[in-house]
Homo-oligomer: A and B are copies of this chain.
């Protein structure tokens, strides 16, 4: 570490005690105006920089929060991270961020790390963290630290889940498509996270409620490769050519689908209607523009942080919150 000067150096140069310097730095009320001015002058001349480690140790408070995200590729969550950071920052917290991967054991390892850093709150981005290994790690390492999980839920007296109603969102999209006369549906999803399972359930319920004499298929593509997503769509159209509606678990996958359909010469939405999910910034830019289910990333992120801040203030907060999701219709349906 660099050889910065300490409050003692400042104290000496200003001819006061270290405690007085500390008081000045922290804007304590009862400090003589002149001494304060003098101390401030010395500080500005002495390239003094506070040491937050020492401060954390003395105050027993780090003013740090932790953010865990599983995978770079889920661009959806990466955007949420910034909402979370921004809200924490506004409230005086610094954010430690870790990329954990999807392996629960690894995720647990990072929870341990966060506990050693003594973060005062944690946000888990995404339902991939909804597993018992993580739950146990929280119980063991962060039993008294408020933890929020975006788009998921875990049982625990210090854990707060904020989900969007993805079940309802998919349901509504099926209703929309049914209203337009579509009959034969396919739902294409990537790795089956709890969140994706919810969507599938919404899909199935939607089929029961709104579609008669139709067909429905669920396809899982446990991959992160665009090529695999495109191939899944191609295969669907090969093996089940009467398909006239495809719903994807994420915009990104839907865009891959749109691309495959485009190259196959399938017209969207005339022959096949396409729906994505997340209402990402890219949905409106595809050709044709993509109808997408908005699962309210911004709101869930914000609420997650605000819940944590409330808990830190000693307020009681609901352990399970859900936000309505909506279908944003565009040219692909």
Q: Which A residues form the contact surface with B (CB < 8 A)?
A: 1-2, 47, 49-54, 56-57, 60-62, 64, 67, 69, 72-73, 75, 78-79, 81-83, 85-86, 89, 94-99, 113, 115-118, 120, 140-141, 143-145, 226, 252, 255-256, 258-259, 262, 281-282, 284-289
CA of A314 to CA of B39 in the docked complex: distance in angstroms? 36
Assess the B116–A284 pair: CB atoms within 8 A: no
Assess the B82–A72 pair: CB atoms within 8 A: yes
- Residue from the set A51, A89, A113, A255 with the largest chain B CB neighbour count within 10 Å: A51
Assess the A82–B89 pair: CB atoms within 8 A: no
CB distance from A300 to the nearest CB of B (A): 16
Assess the B281–A258 pair: CB atoms within 8 A: no
CA of A180 to CA of B117 in the docked complex: distance in angstroms? 57
Assess the B57–A85 pair: CB atoms within 8 A: no
CB distance from A229 to the nearest CB of B (A): 9
CB distance from A6 to the nearest CB of B (A): 11
Assess the B99–A96 pair: CB atoms within 8 A: no
CA of A72 to CA of B281 in the docked complex: distance in angstroms? 11
* Pairs A-B, 4 closest by C-beta atoms: A53-B56, A2-B144, A72-B82, A1-B60
Assess the B53–A57 pair: CB atoms within 8 A: yes
> Quick one: which of B73, B75, B282 contacts A255, CB cutoff 8 A?
B282
Residues of chain B within 8 A (CB-CB) of A285 are 226, 252, 255-256, 258-259, 286
CB distance from A105 to the nearest CB of B (A): 16
CA of A259 to CA of B288 in the docked complex: distance in angstroms? 8
Assess the B120–A1 pair: CB atoms within 8 A: yes
> Quick one: which of B67, B117, B287 contacts A286, CB cutoff 8 A?
B287
Assess the A115–B49 pair: CB atoms within 8 A: yes
Assess the A116–B50 pair: CB atoms within 8 A: yes
CB distance from A232 to the nearest CB of B (A): 14
- Asked, given contacts A2-B144, A85-B97, A99-B89, whether A284 binds B53 with beta carbons under 8 Å apart, the answer is no
Residues of chain B within 8 A (CB-CB) of A79 are 72, 75, 78
Q: Chain B residue with minimal CB distance to A2?
A: B144
Residues of chain B within 8 A (CB-CB) of A226 are 281, 284-285
Assess the A118–B85 pair: CB atoms within 8 A: no
> Quick one: which of B53, B56, B145, B288 contacts A2, CB cutoff 8 A?
B145
